[in-house]
């Protein structure tokens, strides 16, 4: 009669012992007092998590997109106290996402022009991201009526004609009426 082979049982006991040692070691590590460096690192992580942060973007020009991302969903310029408000609704169209530099350049040029015009015509212009505020129509609108279409990416080099057309559409509405 051959003696019984206990190799499997011995391997199981050794495995359980090793697993128990790993669990015990981990429990001791987690319950030990923390060093000053660990405490400081945890505070920095909490502060970073509490601070607002920009959405991570991917692409070749994150700094340019950052200028567009840095815009609030609803920004105003022109005459601040004016009752006449022209809304410029824009979206993150595929063209804007593909070439954010064009959109940034167009927006800067358009804002400069409309700031000057807004002061002369006593108008306020709202720049609204229609992806965030879906109730606002895309394009240029006055009192809920869409006057013309607008895409920031396709305005490159065409801001002056676009603004001229816009002012012509707004002129009858902004001219004082006499009776």
Q: Does 178 or 15 have the greater pLDDT score?
A: 15
Q: Which residues of 86-110 are buried (b: 16+ CB within 10 A; e: fewer)?
A: bbbbbbbbeebeebbbbbbbbbebb
**Segment 117-163, tens digit of pLDDT:** 766 777 788 878 787 777 888 888 887 788 788 777 677 777 778 87
Instruction: For 86-148, give the DSSP string.
Output: EEEEE---HHHHH-HHHHHHHHHHHHHHHHHHHHHHT-EEEEEETTT-TTSPSEEEETTEEEE
Q: pTM, whole model, 2 decimals?
A: 0.52
Confidence of residue 24 (pLDDT cuts 50, 70, 90): very high
Task: Judge whether 3 lies within some domain.
Answer: no
The answer to whether the CB of 149 falls within 8 A of the CB of 138 is: yes
pLDDT for residue 68? 60
Count of beta carbons in the 10 Å neighbourhood of residue 169:
14
Residue 36: which domain range? 11-50
The two beta strands, 85-90 and 145-148, are: unpaired
Task: Let me know whether 115 and 170 are in one domain.
Answer: yes
Task: Judge whether 1 lies within some domain.
Answer: no
Confidence of residue 175 (pLDDT cuts 50, 70, 90): very low
Task: Count the domains in the chain.
Answer: 2
Task: Judge whether 41 lies within some domain.
Answer: yes
Q: Does 176 or 136 have the greater pLDDT score?
A: 136
**Segment 53-112, tens digit of pLDDT:** 544 444 443 444 555 655 666 677 766 777 788 888 877 777 777 777 777 777 778 778
Task: Let me know whether 32 and 72 are in one domain.
Answer: no
pLDDT for residue 11? 95
For residue 3, is pLDDT > 90? no
Cα 141-143-145 angle, rounded to 5 deg:
50
């Amino acid at each position: 009669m051959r003696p019984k082979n206990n190799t499997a049982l011995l391997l199981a006991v050794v495995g359980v012992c090793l697993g128990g040692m790993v669990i015990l070691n981990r429990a001791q590590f987690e319950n030990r007092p923390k060093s000053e460096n660990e405490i400081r690192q945890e505070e920095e992580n909490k502060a970073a998590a509490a601070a607002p942060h920009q959405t991570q973007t991917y692409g070749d020009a994150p700094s340019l997109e950052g200028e567009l991302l840095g815009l609030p969903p609803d920004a105003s310029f022109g005459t601040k106290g004016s009752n006449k408000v022209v809304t410029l609704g824009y979206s993150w169209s595929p063209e804007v996402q593909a070439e954010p530099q064009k959109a940034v350049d167009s927006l800067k040029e358009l804002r400069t022009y409309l700031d000057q015009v807004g002061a002369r015509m006593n108008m306020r212009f709202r720049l609204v991201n229609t992806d965030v505020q879906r109730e606002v129509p895309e394009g240029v609108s006055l009192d809920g009526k869409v006057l013309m279409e607008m895409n920031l990416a396709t305005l490159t080099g065409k801001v002056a004609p676009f603004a001229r057309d816009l002012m012509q559409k707004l002129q009858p509405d902004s001219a004082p009426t006499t009776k």
